């Protein structure tokens, strides 16, 4: 699993751009079958997002979701975009996070009518709990200019089918409201993504901004006004959710690290790195966020860390030169290394967090290169001890 990456999928370019505006430094990642992803970072965090466009419909959404899961092994898959509301209680511009997803086109046609045979997928408990917490906190940022405080987040079922619903009085509209009367919103991709996640063991969350009421007003002036606003609201909530998911993963890993007493393993790793290379921090012990040099406890100062970062750059450049890392990754890694280096030389109060976050993002970029990733662990620990 990529412990710092979340996949975000959208069906429309409008939705794609809404998510992309919330990311820093997106760079192209080509799948061998031609699918294009952009991988960017949520500003101020170590969370990476792999963003892709599926186009409309459950079938293409399922295929692209499975492809993304196989390519990135993400912490979670989020499907983000707009939807139609089925009930007046859900306002235009509001966000709906699915507690479960219905594939409502399952059924059997009998003499006395069409009988529903739905399939349903329930949202993972942990993601649902985190989404509810963010909604209560109300501090998720982003979206279009205007009164953000009026945007509400709803939790409930989402119905996903294969046709655009744009009527309140058609036979199908009445059938949906009769058989799926707890669904808050209706759209065309969630069932495919939920199925792909289920088959591949990947958590899936569906987040939709309400752009219309599925009542005949699609393509109207009102719909054209609400679509970008709804997409922006859904994107802002989803990106914040992605960042919180990665933050939780880091906290879980840290708790496990200290619970199992793996500090001794870190000491051994740092000591081995120091013996085999002039680049690693020449540390004897690590206690909390302090690095002790030459057996004498002392905090790693700005000059020490900055020098170690300069040494790490040589190894990074060497990995790029021999083709162990592609050029796009090397450029992104050097940019994060520059940020960490500048922060390490500062004495400002926020330098510790700035350096640590940059190095965590750097670790995500070189995660597939075991040697570089191992070298970064003591550097991240040292950055946390900056005063």
Per residue in 21-76, pLDDT tens?
999 999 999 999 999 999 999 999 999 999 999 999 999 999 999 999 999 999 99
DSSP state of 282: -
Question: What gap in Å lies between CA 198 and CA 209, rounded to an integer?
Answer: 24
Of 89-93, 259-263, 283-287, 380-384, minimum mean pLDDT range: 283-287
Q: Is 74 exposed, middle or buried (0-12, 13-18, 19+ CB in 10 A)?
A: buried
**CB distance 90 to 215 below 8 Å:** no
Round to whole Å and give the CA distance between 383 and 387: 9
129 SS3 class: helix
Q: Is the dihedral of CA 86, 89, 93, 99 positive or negative?
A: negative
**pLDDT-based confidence at residue 259 (cuts at 50, 70, 90):** low
Share of the chain above pLDDT 70, in %: 81
pLDDT grade, residue 341 (50/70/90)? confident
User: pLDDT tens digits, residue range 228-247?
Assistant: 999 999 999 999 999 999 99
Per domain, the residue ranges of the chain are 5-252, 261-384
Instruction: Tell me whether residue 368 is exposed, middle or buried, using C-beta atoms within 10 angstroms of its C-beta: 0 to 12, 13 to 18, 19 or more.
Output: exposed
pLDDT at position 369 is 85
- Backbone angle region of 73, left / alpha / beta, with phi > 0 → left and psi within -120 to 50 → alpha: left
328 and 365 Cβ atoms separated by less than 8 Å: no
Q: What is the pLDDT of residue 288?
A: 45
> Is the backbone of residue 131 left (phi > 0), alpha (psi -120 to 50) or beta?
alpha
Strand partners, 157: 100, 183
What CATH number was assigned to the domain covering residues 5-252?
Answer: 3.40.50.1580
Q: Single out the residue of 164, 179, 196, 177 nearest to residue 59, CA to CA.
A: 196
Residue 311 pLDDT: 87
Q: What is the pLDDT of residue 79?
A: 98
The better pLDDT of the pair 323, 30 is held by 30
126-151 pLDDT, tens digit each? 999 999 999 998 888 644 444 445 68
- Rounded-to-integer distance, Cα 68 and Cα 89, Å: 35
Hey, what's the torsion of the CAs at 365, 311, 277, 356, to 10 degrees? Answer: -50
CA 61 – CA 93 distance, rounded (Å): 23
Give mean pLDDT, residues 294-315: 67
User: Taking residues 297-306, what's their average pLDDT?
Assistant: 56
Closest CA to 364 of 126, 21, 15, 25: 25
The CA-to-CA distance between both ends of the chain, in Å, stands at 33
DSSP for 64-81 reads: HHHHHHHHH--S-EEEEE
Q: How far is C-alpha 299 from the geometric centre of its chain's CA atoms?
A: 34
Confidence of residue 201 (pLDDT cuts 50, 70, 90): very high
pLDDT score of 284: 42
Of 150-159, 212-221, 271-280, 378-387, the least confident: 271-280
User: Is 169 a residue whose pLDDT tops 50?
Assistant: yes
Q: How confident is the model at residue 167 (pLDDT cuts 50, 70, 90)?
A: confident
Least confident of 4-18, 47-61, 140-154, 351-365: 140-154
pLDDT, mean of residues 335-343: 88
Which token pair is 8? 């975000």
Write b or e for each residue in 8-26: b if 16 or more Cβ atoms lie within 10 A of its Cβ, otherwise e.
Answer: bbbbbebbbbbbbebbeeb
Handedness of CA 91, 97, 99, 105 (dihedral sign): positive
| Per-residue confidence band for 184, with pLDDT thresholds at 50, 70 and 90 | very high
Write b or e for each residue in 112-132: b if 16 or more Cβ atoms lie within 10 A of its Cβ, otherwise e.
eeeeeeeeebebeeebbebbe
């Amino acid at each position: 699993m990529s412990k710092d990456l979340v996949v975000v999928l959208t069906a429309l370019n409008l939705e794609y751009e809404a998510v992309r505006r919330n990311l820093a430094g997106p760079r192209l990642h080509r799948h061998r079958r031609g699918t294009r992803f952009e991988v960017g970072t949520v500003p101020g965090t170590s969370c990476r997002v792999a963003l892709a466009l599926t186009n409309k419909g459950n079938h293409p959404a399922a295929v692209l979701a499975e492809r993304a899961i196989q390519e990135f092994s993400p912490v979670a898959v989020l499907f983000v975009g707009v939807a139609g509301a089925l009930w007046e209680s859900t306002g235009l511009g509001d966000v709906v996070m699915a507690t479960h997803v219905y594939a409502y086109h399952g059924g059997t046609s009998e003499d006395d009518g069409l009988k529903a045979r739905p399939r349903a997928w329930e949202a993972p408990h942990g993601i649902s709990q985190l989404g509810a917490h963010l909604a209560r906190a109300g501090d998720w940022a982003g979206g279009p200019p205007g009164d953000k405080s009026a945007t509400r987040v709803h939790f409930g079922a989402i119905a996903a089918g294969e046709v655009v619903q744009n009527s309140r009085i058609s036979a199908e509209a009445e059938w949906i409201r009769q058989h799926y009367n707890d669904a808050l919103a209706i759209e065309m991709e969630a069932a495919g993504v939920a199925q792909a996640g289920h088959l591949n063991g990947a958590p899936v969350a569906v987040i939709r901004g309400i752009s219309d009421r599925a009542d005949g007003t699609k393509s109207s002036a009102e719909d054209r006004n609400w679509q970008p606003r709804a997409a922006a609201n859904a994107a802002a909530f989803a990106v914040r959710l992605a960042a919180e998911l990665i933050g939780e993963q880091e906290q879980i890993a840290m708790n496990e690290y200290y619970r199992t007493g793996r500090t001794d393993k870190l000491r051994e790793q740092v000591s081995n790195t120091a013996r085999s290379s002039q680049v690693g921090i020449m540390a004897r012990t690590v206690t909390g966020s302090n690095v002790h040099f030459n057996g004498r406890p002392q905090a790693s100062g700005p000059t020490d860390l900055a020098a170690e970062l300069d040494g790490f750059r040589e190894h990074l450049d060497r990995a790029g030169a021999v083709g162990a890392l592609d050029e796009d990754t090397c450029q992104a890694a050097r940019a994060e290394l520059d940020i960490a280096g500048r922060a390490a030389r500062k004495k400002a109060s926020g330098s510790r967090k700035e350096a640590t976050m940059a190095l965590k993002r750097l670790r995500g970029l070189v995660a597939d290169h075991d040697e570089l990733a191992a070298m970064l662990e003591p550097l991240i620990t040292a950055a946390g001890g900056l005063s």
